[in-house]
Chain A
Amino acid sequence: MSFLKINNLSVNYEMRRETVFAAKKVNINVEKGEILGLVGESGSGKSTVGNAIINLIDEPGKVSEGSIILDGTNIYENPENILKLRGNKIGLIFQDPQTSLNPILTIGEQLIETIQTHLKLNKEEAKNKAINLLKEVGIKDADVRFDNYPHQFSGGMRQRVVISLALCCEPELLIADEPTTALDVSIQSQILDLIKRLTKERNLAVILITHDMGVISETTNRVAVMKNGDLVEIGPTKEILTNPKEIYTKALVSSVPPTNKKINRFKIIEKESKTQSETNIKILNRWTKKEIIDQDLVEVKNLSKTFDDNFFTESSKNSVMAVDGVSFSIKEGESFGLVGESGSGKSTIAKMIVNLYSPSAGDINFDNVCITNITNNKEMMKFRKQIQMIFQDPYSSLNGRLKVKDIISEPIKLHNPSISSQEIDSYIYDLLESVELTQQSAERYPHEFSGGQRQRISIARALATQPRLLVCDEPTSALDVSIQAQILNLLKDLQEQLNLTILFISHDLPVVRQMCDRIAVLKNGKICEISETENLFKKPSHEYTRELLTLMPKIESIYN
């Protein structure tokens, strides 16, 4: 008998227009001492299964079928069962450490409160237990930190506190829902190590819910793959990752950017595999293609940006140095990667290059002309046309009140005021087809599209002015991995055929490796090293790069 047994679990959401089956007859067993990964793309039902175990399904969802048996107790037999189990036998770790702690209570108070709710201990005993827990999750000076408020901890430390809260009452099952998604890669590896250690030391059963194949491959013993509420495949992690049986798992694994080598294109395996061939770039014949000459298109010299958060005084005391004397250059036709953790200043650099921010010091030269101090509007428009940007969040980068047609026609009309409306329409259709969307999309509103499709609309808009430089600020980090593969393939095709120069910004090293010719590594607003991609991955010269590379969760391509 397994420790946790999920039998034929089905969860339905009765929505206004339809019933959504978030989980369909899912069968999963978890043993003590093992970490089971629950992996899938958004909407696959992985979180639903996790929430069903602790009976936290939101209205209007309900468990329509099946049972969950934890250590011999059926959770859904009696509503009181779950109240006894939650917190006592089951511990929970949520995604966002910023919101899962109460900001107005010290972490000590929160720990003591939780301990005393479940265990009969007096205040002194509870405090001792809390301090021991904090020590166990790796918080130094636990007896001092005990009296600190959540905001005095960094993101990673806060997640450790959340884990210690989950461990308060000696649970035997731990459910971690995307525990490291909000964290930087260096902190992610520490948290995952902690979870692994605790599993071993306390003989826990752990369910790790994540979308990240790297995390799965580094941490879990077994993995269950979900898609649209169905359990597609379950088995030992190594086997699933190297030799998947189901076609969906194959597609999922093959669209993960491999960490061990550079591949030309991502393999897209779909049942109706029509997009295997390269994209048909319809706008090619309209494009006044620049021949690639061996020269720098962008030159960034000693670029700095300080943010002053005080309105009245311009004292340097409160100012933050986001970018600190950065220099690099991008050759025409090259893809140049900027890599760094959050707060490294990579997005600030992008915004200065596209002229959303003006630099505090330093110059940006585009095509040998300094563009940082252009005040003439007409002059500026010439550069606006040539530099375009693709944003991270596909949901906020399109104006929801405009039709796709109007979104894409805006740059066309602005830069060719004399163009006829028929000409605009045919240009829009060509652009849409170049990013693999149908002509009918033009008449729709952005909310009718998925995240990946929205990102395609964004790309079409950026291409409408026929730019030479495309700045991509984390263009795929909000997308599922299979969609990411498609978008990255599209960007590669566009670059090759249109001779685009790309500045690619990402925190994700494997993605950058697939996309870029050269890479600059940023830390705290300064460049650590700039190097050819393969060189950087094989022989990193800077300490920080080496650290990032070792901490990166590794996953190897199943195809050669």
Chain B
Amino acid sequence: MDNKKYTLISRIKDSDIYFSFIKSPTAILSTVILVIIFFCSFFVELVTPYNPFDPSSLSLMDAFTPPSWTEDGLSKFILGTDGQGRDMLSTILYGSRISLIVGFSAVIFALVLGVGLGLSAGYFGGKYEMIVMRLTDVQLTVPSILMALLVDGIARGIISREMHDEMAIYVLIFAIGISEWPQFARVSRAATLVEKNKDYVSASTIIGVSNIIIMFKHILPNIMRPVLVIGTIGLALAIIAEATLSFLGVGVPPTTPSLGTLIRLGNDFLFSGEWWITFFPAIFLVLLAFSINLLGDWMRDTLNPKLN
């Protein structure tokens, strides 16, 4: 036992989480799908030969080409092209990059805000806790899409028209983040209430450690498990929320389309027979959200101490 090397890799390999991961086919499958999607989205320039946002490379002659396996399909456009002759596959991957960036940023924003407020509310208690928690209660009575629409509307009123397209993505991140933070606040407050009554917190207090250090060095790492689970499921929700908002036309502008924008643009052509323009982005979105949710479910089961 004394000779064991404690490298990071050996610790990971030795952990129960690793064990349960390699035993779960759904977790492995969804991770593989996600890794492929993430890789293709973030390194999209390396993966695809086309840049759909470079007007010089586009040819209107190629517009409305159906997928390659159909009668009129061209082998160079696997999933066909849209109304401007842009390759669908490349457009989807560029779009999913925007969706993922918005999703991740929104979740991180919600996580930092929610955990910060929840942790401090749970730790300090009293009137401060009551105010924060009532705030989450109030916000949870408003559907999150409405909340995001509201934020977007206000932002439109404040930001000038010229700036709006530029700022759209930040507004979107803020809107989705602000609609998701109460979940994080609730979970981290509940976990903090459990942790702060444990003796290691008392021991640190007796030693004389300050509240801030106790909160961030001692309690925070111990409440990260449930927060990560909520975060994963929140990521799927954020991506769907982004798609919904973009579909409604209040999200990212069509010049830099996300998955939701693509679905909306394609929707116009659905009844004239060009189904692929909306179908493939939609399927891609489902696959992405579904994989994240499956991974989140597995994490919830594995990281839940009560189920072990």
Contacts and interface: CB of A to CB of B under 8 A. Distances in A.
Given A384-B208, A401-B222, A396 B19 contact: no
B158 interface: no
B202 A414 contact: no
B61 interface: no
A458 B203 contact: yes
A183 to B, nearest CB: 23
Given A391-B199, A391-B202, A384 B207 contact: yes
B202 A415 contact: no
Interface in A385-426: 385, 387-389, 391-393, 396-402, 410-411, 414-415
A398 B200 contact: yes
Contacts of A400: 222
A387 B206 CA distance: 8
Contact of A356 (B19, B200, B206, B221): B206
A513 interface: no
A414 B209 contact: yes
A461 B207 CA distance: 9
Interface string A459-501: 0011001000000000000000000000000000000000000
Nearest to A446: B200
B273 to A, nearest CB: 56
B205 interface: yes
A411 to B, nearest CB: 4
A357 to B, nearest CB: 10
B203 A391 contact: yes
B107 to A, nearest CB: 23
Nearest to B11: A445
A356 B208 contact: no
Interface stretch (A75-83, A259-267, A436-444): A436-444
Interface in A337-373: 351, 354-356
A399 B218 contact: yes
Given A397-B199, A398-B200, A399-B200, A385 B221 contact: no
A16 interface: yes
Nearest to B202: A356
How large, as a class, is the contact surface on chain B? 10 to 19
Nearest to A384: B208
A86 B207 CA distance: 53
B208 A461 contact: no
Interface residues of A, number: 34
B204 interface: yes
A380 interface: yes
A558 interface: no
B199 A384 contact: no
Given A356-B202, A393-B199, A396-B198, A410 B207 contact: yes
A355 B208 CA distance: 10
Contacts of A355: 206
The residue in A381, A384, A397, A399 that gathers the most chain B C-beta atoms within 10 A of its C-beta is A399
A351 B199 CA distance: 11
Nearest to B3: A440
A411 B206 CA distance: 10
Nearest to A389: B206
B220 to A, nearest CB: 9
A232 B19 CA distance: 36
Contacts of A391: 199, 202-203
Interface in A443-461: 443-444, 458, 461
A384 B206 contact: yes
Interface in B200-237: 200, 202-209, 218, 221-222
Contacts of B198: 396-397
Nearest to B19: A16
B203 to A, nearest CB: 6
The residue in A356, A381, A396, A415 that gathers the most chain B C-beta atoms within 10 A of its C-beta is A396
Interface string B171-209: 000000000000000000000000000111011111111
A452 to B, nearest CB: 16
B206 A354 contact: yes
Contacts of A389: 202-203, 206
Contacts of B207: 384, 388, 410-411, 414, 461, 465
B271 interface: no
Given A351-B202, A399-B222, 4 more contacts: A16-B19, A356-B202, A388-B207, A400-B222
20 contacts: A16-B19, A355-B206, A380-B208, A384-B207, A387-B206, A388-B207, A389-B203, A391-B199, A396-B199, A396-B200, A397-B202, A399-B204, A399-B222, A400-B222, A410-B204, A414-B207, A415-B208, A438-B2, A440-B2, A443-B6
The 8 closest A-B pairs by CB, nearest first: A397-B199, A384-B208, A391-B199, A401-B221, A396-B198, A411-B207, A399-B200, A396-B199
